[in-house]
A and B are shown apart, each in its own frame.
Chain A
């Protein structure tokens, strides 16, 4: 492979410091089923450099070019038929976004009174091992997830955590996806939850978890709303999370902590609250009167949910928003609110920044007011009301941002950014899967040097930087099961 490179610029290989954030040039995306009614499906694109690209849904013969100007957001409307409908179905409706320079992509699935948005993850951040995080079904529809294939012939093994269409809980089954085919599965009962469903695949896939229309925290509160997020592969989950309450809510927010490994202790505001098994989640309500810290002993996924309107009588409704682990904070974000039509939202951005940075963090060039400490974490959090449109945020050091908004019986929310840096990589190196690390594994890594990792959970990517290098070989040499990397 390397021999084909006459000069550096002609090489097809990746470079050092490969992309490890949600910015990218190649996205495989989808829209899972929302409540009934023709959805307004929009991709929002932004980037730090001027660029052009294409949004395509080949299965629908849809393609459109786009251009991105730094500091602004480009909106691309998609056909309503891009949304998956039904359960246990494979459809040719996957979305392919490509661009010349890295862009950030947000997806909005909007129906009046039932809307949510997600942050798109580029292809290098996709993986082959996932655990679904969504929410139980509600009055308007079931718990669901959607998978998008990125390569032809990808075999996917799914072990649903709840009874679902044609597939009972706990019984693994297999499907095969081609590039840009989607598979959607919904629970058979509106009261059950597909969170905790295990998914593995032979090639990287994209996963979207959520619910068609759920009541949060439960059916005792109305109204229901569509919720969705693109779920990161377990290889990029984190351990340390900092949260800020959703602005205007009066009784706090619902949180879920999903564990990737057995024996994961969950600590909230310094107190151990539970120990989880693999693929188990802990759900709690956290007050709106303070910011909160969530720490887990093993890599986990954390989401913040907006409760249904009647939970506190505030203009709002359910949405789902992933919380970035602090390891994946970034130093700038360009984010956007939905347009003011067909609904007008009151929009907010929550920011989590180092306490030493709060005087220098900016939103649209202006200081961010009203930071409050987040426990003893050394970070502060702020809630910023913002107008409809694009907003640019920056801090000297990496920080977190979360965008959300409320309308009558409606809401949306998504993280401003997520890193894909493989945090959950400490147990890698057994490349051939024989239960030990030896010279055969190290040899493979060395031979594969200077190639991209096959997703965020590649056994060869020992340092989790999404590249296979001699450094990974050296790390794995240090992890050999027996002396001198021998086999036994």
Chain B
């Protein structure tokens, strides 16, 4: 408990954030036993500022949804060539990425905000509503030079699991991504290792 309090105290000492983390869709409803996928998006980087690395923890209610996979997007480079990693528990997902791209390349990739950092797919295992929000640790955004950015503000999302027909379904764009086979779970991708540098 002390460590948690200390973490919260330390986090509270940081300066106000300019960036924002949102969940897309912000809310969705799925049938019990179905899957739901949510994108974690970033906006609010200042002009000329690129995101070079991130490490975020997304908390959820383990009695309602169970995380099964994490998918990384291309806004920090091709995720098969960057360093990515994820760790899943029943109530949280850590997703981390460090880009090998130059800051100039990152600025080009991240030209339009918000952009998606990663998507999480959950199994709906219990009736109810699970809030999706960021945990306090790890919570790291770093710019192209590796300088840590101020902690982002967070707009929480939610997933509601029902026994009947869902009122909404995952967005088509997310479904396409789910089927694209980019999912990576629990391991760091070895960029360029296979390229025999």
User: Would you call B57 and A471 a contact (CB within 8 A)?
Assistant: no
A28 CA / B143 CA spacing, docked (Å): 37
User: Would you call B146 and A472 a contact (CB within 8 A)?
Assistant: yes
Picked from A11, A438, A447, A463, the residue with its CB within 8 Å of the CB of B146 is A463
User: Would you call A439 and B197 a contact (CB within 8 A)?
Assistant: yes
* Total count of chain A residues near the partner, CB < 8 A: 41
Picked from B4, B91, B92, B96, the residue with its CB within 8 Å of the CB of A470 is B96
Which residues of A does B touch, CB under 8 Å?
A: 2-3, 5-9, 11, 13-18, 100-102, 438-439, 442-443, 446-447, 449-450, 462-463, 469-478, 484-487
* Total count of chain B residues near the partner, CB < 8 A: 48
User: Would you call A474 and B197 a contact (CB within 8 A)?
Assistant: no
Contacts of A13 in B (CB 8 A): 137
Which residues of B does A touch, CB under 8 Å?
A: 1-4, 6-7, 10-11, 13-14, 52-55, 57, 59, 83, 85, 87-92, 94, 96-100, 135-140, 142, 144-148, 188, 190-193, 197
User: Would you call B55 and A470 a contact (CB within 8 A)?
Assistant: yes
Contacts of B98 in A (CB 8 A): 442, 446, 470, 473-474, 477
Given contacts A3-B87, A471-B140, contact A449 B192 (CB under 8 A): no
Shortest distance between the CB of A297 and any CB in chain B (Å): 23
**What are the nearest 3 A-B pairs in CB distance?**
A15-B7, A475-B146, A486-B197
A471 CA / B147 CA spacing, docked (Å): 7
Given contacts A3-B89, A17-B10, A469-B138, contact A484 B83 (CB under 8 A): no
Contacts of A449 in B (CB 8 A): 55, 85, 96, 138
* New A-B pairs, 20, CB < 8 Å, besides A15-B6, A16-B10, A446-B96: A2-B94, A6-B89, A7-B91, A8-B59, A11-B137, A14-B3, A16-B136, A16-B139, A16-B140, A439-B192, A449-B96, A450-B138, A463-B146, A470-B96, A470-B97, A471-B142, A474-B53, A474-B144, A476-B146, A486-B192
* Nearest A residue (CB) for B97: A470
A85 CA / B91 CA spacing, docked (Å): 55
Given contacts A470-B53, A484-B197, contact A17 B13 (CB under 8 A): yes
A162 CA / B191 CA spacing, docked (Å): 50
User: Would you call A17 and B83 a contact (CB within 8 A)?
Assistant: no
* Nearest A residue (CB) for B57: A8
* Nearest B residue (CB) for A12: B3
Shortest distance between the CB of B187 and any CB in chain A (Å): 10
A478 CA / B52 CA spacing, docked (Å): 10
